[in-house]
Structure 1
Amino acid sequence: MQLSSNEHNNFSLERFESMLKTNSVLFFDSEEFEEIVHHYLENGKIALAKKATKLGLEQHPSSTNLKLFQIEMYIFENKLDIADELLDELHQLEQSNEEIYIQKANIFSRRDMHKEAITLLEQALEITADEADVLSLLGMEYLFLEDYENAKLYFMRCLEEDEEDYSALYNIIYCFEFLDEYEAAIDYLNDFLNKNPYCEVAWHQIGKQYYELKDYKKALAAFDFAIISDDRFIGAYLEKGRVLEKLKRYEEAIESYSITLGLDDPTSYALLRIGKCYEKLGNAEMAIQFYTKCVEEDSLLDKGWIAITDFYIKNKQFQKALYYIEKAINIDSENVLYWKRYAKINNKLNLFEEAEVGFRKALELGNYELESWLTRGDILTNLGEFEAAVNNFNQSLEFYPEHAEIEYRLSGLYFTLNENDKGAFHLKNALKSEPEFLMIIEELFPQVYQMPAVVEIIKEHKNPSL
């Protein structure tokens, strides 16, 4: 009885793995070795693939395909010089093998020599029987060069060769989007759908283009067609939910998001959006329930923790907001969005030292918003940490040169520290640019505001002829 192809492959694998366990040596023809190596590569078992290639070349030292597998693994391990040398040897023997050109192009690509890779792939294209794969590789090389027009053209040719190559379709749309050609993308997708009317991926992509153009009704219709084409297409339900939110149809959005929870394991994104919809509907209990599920599902999703925290901040429940943002910080202490909220919540609770820590961490993590500098400086001033406040404001001037709100504060601090020359310098700078902000000195430094030297500078500014 003749074995089917799958049975034959399984039999070969079983024999090979049995040989490894018993340390015996069995003979396999070169095609069997190729199938074994391919199987291991497909399943990410690189060590076994290398073992099979080595044994295969010992039994079939002239096998080009096994040598190409060996080269592919050298490239994977970034041993590019060895792979390059072996390819040169193979090229001397077989100048019409497109795989040699493809692997050589792969090496050039790894070395960021994308134009050279393209030249070799063009040569491979002339001799290959499988144009779609080579066209796709050419498209990728043009993407690396950020030449989106050419990348788009090659992916289009690839899709013409293989209409089920959805990765090529995604890449085409990516190029259109990068070029801000949303309407051209819609035209292209409509042409594609005329030939493939039940392609759920194309309907999904056309819906996304309409969403970008804010044509939500057409986007909604497209996502509905995607769902008709494949009623288990999770991406289409999620996008449909987003559109329904934009249309303020929150109950329907919840329904669309909820369908995805039954199709697969719940995604934190769907749980978060359901929570947002319930919050918009004024259903606080259900909103919190879904926000909590969201962070339980994915504790690293900062949007989940921020949603819970912001919910309690809006409702002025600052102690609860603080509880959740502290939990978030314990999970990810490098998240600037967490520290900003931690600072603001503690400030609201009059926990000024903690608030100062929060603003300092946010600044250290690269959040250089003016508000962060100003609020942190004011907190340090209120705590009597005048030198630290001066340092804070001087640093902020690097990002906001001669900004009046900073200059007035520095003036007040320097006068407080009896560094009157510096105080006068910053006060004059501030008065020149924003005299109406003089109230900052009056409110934050009332004693300074009444100092004779300060009164004189203000008077001279108002009456320059005096």
Structure 2
Amino acid sequence: MHLSHDEEDYNLSLSKFESMLKTNKVLFFDSEEFEEIILHYLDMGKASLAKKALKLALEQHPKSTGLKLVQVEMLVYDDKLEIAERLLNELYAIEPQNEEIYIQKANIYSKRDDHEKAVELLQQALKLTDDYADVYNLIGMEYLFMDSLELAKDNFIKCLEEDIEDQAALYNVVYCFEFLDQNIEAVAFLEKYIDKNPYSEIAWHQSGRLYYGLKDYENALRCFDYASMIDDEFMGAFMEKAKSLERLKRYEEAIESYNRTIELDDPTSYALLRIGKCYEKLGNKPQALKFFHKTVHEDPLLDKGWIAITDFYVRQKNYQKALFYVNKAIGIDNENKMYWKRYATINRALDFFEEAEIGYRKAVEFGDYELDTWLFWVDILQYLGEFDAAIHTLLQATEYFPEEFQLEYRLGGLYFMQDDATKGKFHLSNGLRLSFENHILIETLFPAIWENSEVQEIISQHEK
């Protein structure tokens, strides 16, 4: 690979400067060389080297406005805003038409969360600058800070009109469209952008993402295909392409694309998991299981990996093995609601009702408030004869589902089982009011009270 003349000069300046630091010999650099060296170290996060370079630069070029502006940038970076502001005022007195002074002043106001003043200063810079793209980009960022997404979007678009290659601005435009829930408009914008810049893999990739979000998987695949052809090492494009192929049920091609992501970088647990899922869809159970095991080996804390193995065995009705793996998962993370719910489901299938009850209780304790979790838990408590606990659990569940007939029928039945006819009537009436057609639940769940005359009378009162 051949370096341009400018790149060679830049690398030479850096080597010369680092050599000077090692030998303690003072060498001369022009002010622009120093600016590039200092900004290089700042970009690399090497603040101490940047400060050394700035000190030497100001000793050699004490009147350089460019270096003093770099000094301001470093002061702002260190949150020394008042010193930076004083220095800017001095520079303004000398060069009132220097747009960089306005940009740095805007930066200071932005740091102070006065984004409106920052925009005002950047509008001034816009009148003086030749680099419109950079200033439009900065204005867009200030509007983002103010949550003015439409204005931010407009300025990022103006930035792209000045510099079509600005990838950060392109990402920001798409972000604004998405935040404003304007996905269709975003697709239209990217189509026009691609007409002007057809080899932008980022634009194709972002278009694909938007089509995917709109569930248009054919168009999403087309876009990811182009992105991966333009850059055959674009891992994100291959990953999204694989997901689109999976959605289109083209599992073998999806596996190829997921494998490409593994070739480009270290295997990710996500890719391994999806390959396993694809093999399972193809009916290749040994390969599916192999990749599920690879997933948990790659990331033992990934709950989806353990769930995939557990669910695999549940689908095979091999509950003993499913129980073994869900127990392993709980051993790694015993506060995971998804593990506990599966633990409960598997134990219920094995008729281990005490263990199943513990599983549902733990699932709720760790945040699973799904209706079916409450219902399974209550039905097991009832089966175990724990009527008081079942009622207490149902009352908890009604806080999340205040108008749910399945809870009301169960409360009515349990109160009647406890010989509390007043509360039984109240909840049974609620259930009948909410869904009369499902009153058969009483006979199914509480055959012992179905023939009760009070129960039959309440039902007949609600019959239309």
Cα distance, 1:258 vs. partner? 1.8
Matches within 5 A, 1:284-323: 284-323=285-324
Aligned to 2:86: 89
**Any gaps of 5 or more consecutive residues in structure 1?**
20-24, 76-81
Tell me if structure 1 keeps the 8 A contact 2:273–2:295.
yes
Tell me if structure 1 keeps the 8 A contact 2:69–2:101.
no
- Change in CA separation of 1:140 and 1:352 when aligned onto 2, cut-off 3 Å: farther
Aligned to 1:367: 368
* Aligned partner of residue 432 in structure 1, secondary structure: helix
Cα distance, 1:282 vs. partner? 0.5
Paired with 2:454 and 2:189, the residues of 1 have a C-alpha distance of 72
Tell me if structure 2 keeps the 8 A contact 1:13–1:36.
no
Match of 2:78 among 74, 79, 95: 74
**Structure 1: which amino acid aligns with 2:382?**
T
Matches within 5 A, 1:134-213: 134-213=135-214
**Any gaps of 5 or more consecutive residues in structure 2?**
1-7
Q: Which moved more, 1:96-105 or 1:288-297?
A: 96-105
CA deviations on 1:397-442 (whole Å, 9 max, x unpaired) are: 1121142221222233334444443233223332333344444343
Matches within 5 A, 1:402-441: 402-441=403-442
Matches within 5 A, 1:19-418: 31=31, 34=35, 37-46=38-47, 49=50, 64-75=68-79, 82-83=80-81, 85-95=82-92, 96=96, 97-110=98-111, 112-418=113-419
Cα distance, 1:394 vs. partner? 0.9
Paired with 2:284 and 2:44, the residues of 1 have a C-alpha distance of 47
- Change in CA separation of 1:119 and 1:412 when aligned onto 2, cut-off 3 Å: same
* Aligned partner of residue 78 in structure 2, secondary structure: helix
Aligned to 1:78: none
User: Size of the alignment, in residue pairs?
Assistant: 448
- Change in CA separation of 1:295 and 1:191 when aligned onto 2, cut-off 3 Å: same
- Change in CA separation of 1:431 and 1:227 when aligned onto 2, cut-off 3 Å: closer
**Structure 1: which amino acid aligns with 2:355?**
E
Paired with 2:407 and 2:52, the residues of 1 have a C-alpha distance of 67
* Aligned partner of residue 223 in structure 2, secondary structure: helix
Paired with 1:50 and 1:455, the residues of 2 have a C-alpha distance of 90
- Change in CA separation of 1:460 and 1:398 when aligned onto 2, cut-off 3 Å: closer
Paired with 1:18 and 1:335, the residues of 2 have a C-alpha distance of 59
Tell me if structure 1 keeps the 8 A contact 2:433–2:462.
no
CA deviations on 1:326-383 (whole Å, 9 max, x unpaired) are: 3334444444333332332232233333333332333234332211121222222233
- Change in CA separation of 1:422 and 1:150 when aligned onto 2, cut-off 3 Å: same
**Structure 1: which amino acid aligns with 2:14?**
N
Identity %: 53
Tell me if structure 2 keeps the 8 A contact 1:428–1:457.
no
Cα distance, 1:298 vs. partner? 3.0
Tell me if structure 2 keeps the 8 A contact 1:90–1:100.
no
Determine if the alignment matches structure 1 residue 5 to structure 2 residue 10. yes
Q: Which moved more, 1:440-449 or 1:47-56?
A: 47-56
Paired with 1:326 and 1:101, the residues of 2 have a C-alpha distance of 62
Tell me if structure 2 keeps the 8 A contact 1:139–1:152.
yes
Alignment RMSD (CA, Å): 3.4
Tell me if structure 1 keeps the 8 A contact 2:449–2:455.
no
Cα distance, 1:456 vs. partner? 1.9
* Aligned partner of residue 94 in structure 1, secondary structure: helix
- Change in CA separation of 1:433 and 1:183 when aligned onto 2, cut-off 3 Å: closer
- Change in CA separation of 1:364 and 1:50 when aligned onto 2, cut-off 3 Å: farther
Paired with 1:93 and 1:110, the residues of 2 have a C-alpha distance of 20
Aligned to 2:460: 462
Paired with 1:133 and 1:218, the residues of 2 have a C-alpha distance of 33
**Structure 1: which amino acid aligns with 2:273?**
L
* Aligned partner of residue 44 in structure 1, secondary structure: coil
**Structure 1: which amino acid aligns with 2:125?**
A
- Change in CA separation of 1:37 and 1:332 when aligned onto 2, cut-off 3 Å: farther
**Structure 1: which amino acid aligns with 2:138?**
L
Paired with 2:408 and 2:22, the residues of 1 have a C-alpha distance of 76
Cα distance, 1:66 vs. partner? 4.9
Q: Which moved more, 1:218-227 or 1:374-383?
A: 218-227
Cα distance, 1:108 vs. partner? 4.5
Cα distance, 1:281 vs. partner? 0.7
Paired with 1:114 and 1:338, the residues of 2 have a C-alpha distance of 47
Paired with 1:409 and 1:178, the residues of 2 have a C-alpha distance of 44
Tell me if structure 1 keeps the 8 A contact 2:450–2:456.
no
TM-score by length of 2: 0.83
- Change in CA separation of 1:49 and 1:356 when aligned onto 2, cut-off 3 Å: farther
Cα distance, 1:154 vs. partner? 1.3
Cα distance, 1:105 vs. partner? 3.8
Cα distance, 1:26 vs. partner? 6.8
CA deviations on 1:228-270 (whole Å, 9 max, x unpaired) are: 3222222222222223223322222222222222222223332
Paired with 2:103 and 2:386, the residues of 1 have a C-alpha distance of 66
Paired with 1:16 and 1:133, the residues of 2 have a C-alpha distance of 33
- Change in CA separation of 1:222 and 1:458 when aligned onto 2, cut-off 3 Å: same
Q: Which moved more, 1:238-247 or 1:281-290?
A: 238-247
* Aligned partner of residue 367 in structure 2, secondary structure: coil
**Structure 2: which amino acid aligns with 1:91?**
L
CA deviations on 1:285-331 (whole Å, 9 max, x unpaired) are: 11111222223223344333333222222222223333333333444
Q: Which moved more, 1:408-417 or 1:278-287?
A: 408-417
- Change in CA separation of 1:175 and 1:69 when aligned onto 2, cut-off 3 Å: closer
**Structure 1: which amino acid aligns with 2:16?**
F
Q: Which moved more, 1:410-419 or 1:100-109?
A: 100-109
Tell me if structure 1 keeps the 8 A contact 2:436–2:462.
no
Paired with 1:417 and 1:207, the residues of 2 have a C-alpha distance of 60
Paired with 1:335 and 1:56, the residues of 2 have a C-alpha distance of 57
